[in-house]
Amino acid sequence: MKISVIVPTYNERENLEELFERIDKSLKNYEYEIVVVDDDSPDRTWEFAQRLSERYSVKVIRRSDEKGLSSAVIRGFEEAEGDVFVVMDADLQHPPEVIPELLKAIEDGADIAIASRYVPGGGVKNWYWYRRLISKGAIAIGRLALPKIRNVKDPVSGFFALKREVVEGVQLNPVGFKILMEVLIKGNYGKVAEVPFTFGLRKAGESKLGGKTMLNYIRHVYRLMRWEGELDRLIKFTLVGLSGVFVNEGFLWAFVNFLGWDKILANIPATELAILNNFTWNDLWTFRDLKRRPLWKRLTSFHIAALTGAVVQWALYAGLVYMGLYYLVANLIGIALSFIVRFLVNRHVTWG
């Protein structure tokens, strides 16, 4: 089994020597190559890497036509000769000593092994609480929006190992900024393992991923949702919800006008009929491929989602109005959040 360690670099000259030294020590029991993909760094990282190739097994790719972390990693996949690929940063925030543990997980049957900050034993060094919060929030959004990765604790880690087959022949989008997430959605694999590690401090130089990162991430999640067909579900769920409004209004009108029922009480059966309408269409259309639970469970869970949504809507409305927000705006926010909650509960539980 040959290992290819893929290292994207941009102005990492000062980190390379220690990085290679520690990789070499960690992989002394393996046949390996290091594939450096450098984007023509002004500090001439590529040149220094080339020089170090006299001492270590290094292949240097100097790109001048293209830029970007994800596309660099994808290029690395194309150039790598190993049976197992390891992807890691050059700045030593990813300790090379963890690589053997990743390889162990692969040898034990995993197709992808992630060095994870968010499994027991893992962590981050010197992050303020709000950085942790943003990181965890971003991951939560990704896991909720993409049910396929909902069990992965750190799907945005930049440190992982995978079998060559996972990405061979797979069209990966380099615009996608979190390459691991791209691989987890589009790759060919069965088992994923997570190995704890502590995301350390940068040795030298500075981070290149700042400012626009969060917005880019949301765009990436959105694109992957589209690719997965999750966006289609969201649209269908919305259309079904709209049809429910007509059912609710129609029956309410009929009960009051033709049957002379009390206006307040008549809305209870009218609402229930709308819920049943929505359930039926979602079951036959939106989630038709996901009927894994028995019908009575799906029906119960759908009602719980509806009730939860109503409570969220009302609580948010009451809270925001109390805080002084204009009531119609407060209601819109309540409706929007209730919608998201209902979609997620149904996607992950009812048809989970």
Nearest alpha carbon to residue 69 among 174, 205, 172, 156: 174
| CA dist., res. 194 & res. 197, Å (int) | 9
- Our finding on whether 158 is near ligand GDD (CB under 6 A) is yes
Binding site partner of 176, from Mn ion, ligand GDD, none, Cβ cut-off 5-8 A by kind: none
Q: Which of residues 83-112 bind Mn ion (CB under 5 A)?
A: 91, 93
Helix (H) or strand (E) holding 37: strand 31-38
Q: Which of residues 55-94 bind ligand GDD (CB under 6 A)?
A: 67-69, 72, 89-91, 93
Member of 207, 257, 280, 300 binding ligand GDD (CB under 6 A):
207
Residue placing its CB nearer to ligand GDD in the complex, 175 or 307: 175
**β-pair partners for 2:** 31
Report in angstroms how near the CB of residue 158 gets to Mn ion at its nearest: 8
- Our finding on whether 162 is near ligand GDD (CB under 6 A) is no
Member of 4, 5, 9, 153 binding ligand GDD (CB under 6 A):
9
Tokens of 120: 């027991």
* Residue 111 to residues 19, 161, 192, 262, Cα–Cα distance (Å): 25, 8, 6, 62
Member of 3, 6, 8, 274 binding ligand GDD (CB under 6 A):
8
- Our finding on whether 39 is near Mn ion (CB under 5 A) is no
Residue placing its CB nearer to Mn ion in the complex, 98 or 224: 98
Residue placing its CB nearer to Mn ion in the complex, 11 or 93: 93
Phi, psi of 12, deg, nearest 5: -120, 15
- Our finding on whether 33 is near Mn ion (CB under 5 A) is no
Amino acid sitting at position 211: G
- Our finding on whether 38 is near ligand GDD (CB under 6 A) is yes
| CA dist., res. 311 & res. 333, Å (int) | 13
Residue placing its CB nearer to Mn ion in the complex, 62 or 202: 202
Residue placing its CB nearer to Mn ion in the complex, 128 or 322: 128
| CA dist., res. 182 & res. 86, Å (int) | 15
| CA dist., res. 277 & res. 291, Å (int) | 17
Strands 160-163 and 84-87: antiparallel
- Our finding on whether 184 is near ligand GDD (CB under 6 A) is no
- Our finding on whether 208 is near ligand GDD (CB under 6 A) is yes
Q: How many residues bind Mn ion (CB under 5 A)?
A: 2
Phi, psi of 197, deg, nearest 5: -155, 160
Phi, psi of 115, deg, nearest 5: -80, 115
Q: How many residues bind ligand GDD (CB under 6 A)?
A: 21
**β-pair partners for 58:** 34
The site for Mn ion (CB under 5 A) is made up of: 91, 93
The site for ligand GDD (CB under 6 A) is made up of: 8-10, 12, 37-39, 67-69, 72, 89-91, 93, 156, 158, 178, 207-209
